[in-house]
Amino acid sequence: MAAGQIFGLGVGPGDPELITLKALRLLRAAQVVAYPAPETGDSLARAIVAAHLREGQREIALRFPMRPGPPPAALYDEMAERLAGELEGGADIAVLCQGDPLFYGSFAGILARLAPRYRVTIVPGVSSLTAAGAVSGAAIVQRDEVLTVIPATLAEDELTRRLAGVERAAIVKIGRHSAKLRRVLAGLGLIDRALYVEHATLPDQRILPLAEIDEGAVPYFALVLVRGPSR
C-alpha cells in the first residue's frame, strides 16, 4: 500500500470564512484531520473549520504544553511518529494550522521531521499579521517601508535593540510578555504608536491602544502593530 501524504493547511486567523477554497477542499478530502490543541480543552484551529468536517474523518489532537518556551523536541518526535503511523497505513492527513503553517506555526516542527520521508503539501493561509492589519483599518506596510516582525518572547534588551528606530513593526506572541513590551516601547518613545489587536476577525476581537490594555488578561493570540516615525 502506498503511504499517505500530509497537507499542512492554513485555516486563517479565526473567522471561519477566512479559509481558502484550496484548504477547504483538501481538508474535506483527508481521511485524518490533525490539529494543535492545549493540554486540556479545545483546539482553536479545529473550531475554525468545525462546520466543514466530514462524518467519519478521524481526528488527532496534537497537544502542546502551556509551559513557557518552545515545546521540547521529543514532543515533536512523538507527534511525527504518530502521524507517520497513519501515513504508513495509507491515510492522507490534513494538519490544521491557525493562520499560516509557516509563519510562527508549530507545523514547522512536524514538517522538518516528516518531509524527508513523506510527500508534504503546504497551503498558505491568511496570517494573524494581515488579519490584524485588516481590522486595524490602516496599511501594515506600504511603498518602500520596512516591516520588522518580532516575538515578544525575546529578552528585554534584545527587544529594545530590535525595536529601536523601527519604521513599521508587528510584535507577535504577546501573552504574558505584555508588561515587558510596554516598558520597552515606552522607553523608546513608541508606546503611543502601538496598537493592540486581540483575536482579530473573531467575535471577541478587541482593538485598542497598547497603553490602555489590562496586562493581566492578554492572550497568546494577540499582536501589536507599531507605526514608527517616518524616515
**SS3 state of residue 183:** helix
Which of 5, 28, 31, 104 touches a second copy by CB under 8 A? 104
Region from 34-42, 56-64, 119-127, 188-196 binding a second copy, contact rule CB under 8 A? 119-127
Q: Which is nearer to a second copy, 91 or 123 (CB)?
A: 123
Burial class (CB in 10 A: 0-12, 13-18, 19+), 227: buried
Q: Report the relative pairing of strands 222-227 and 168-172 from DSSP bridges.
A: antiparallel
CB 174 within 8 Å of CB 220: yes
The strand pairing partners of 97, in sequence order, are: 10
Q: Report the relative pairing of strands 120-123 and 6-10 from DSSP bridges.
A: parallel
Region from 15-23, 29-37, 88-96, 191-199 binding a second copy, contact rule CB under 8 A? 15-23
Which of 56, 68, 116, 137 touches a second copy by CB under 8 A? 137
Confirm or reject binding of residue 116 to a second copy (CB under 8 A).
Answer: no
Confirm or reject binding of residue 101 to a second copy (CB under 8 A).
Answer: yes
Q: What is the largest CA-CA distance in the chain?
A: 62
**SS3 state of residue 16:** helix
Site for a second copy in 163-222 (CB under 8 A): 173, 201
C-alpha cell at 209: 491602544
Q: Which is nearer to a second copy, 22 or 183 (CB)?
A: 22
Which of 29, 50, 73, 115 touches a second copy by CB under 8 A? 115
Instruction: Measure the CA–CA gap between 73 and 140, rounded to whole angstroms.
Output: 34
Confirm or reject binding of residue 36 to a second copy (CB under 8 A).
Answer: no
Question: Binding residues for a second copy, per CB under 8 A?
Answer: 10, 12-13, 15-22, 24-25, 70, 100-105, 108-109, 111, 115, 120, 122-127, 129-131, 133-135, 137-151, 153-154, 162, 173, 201
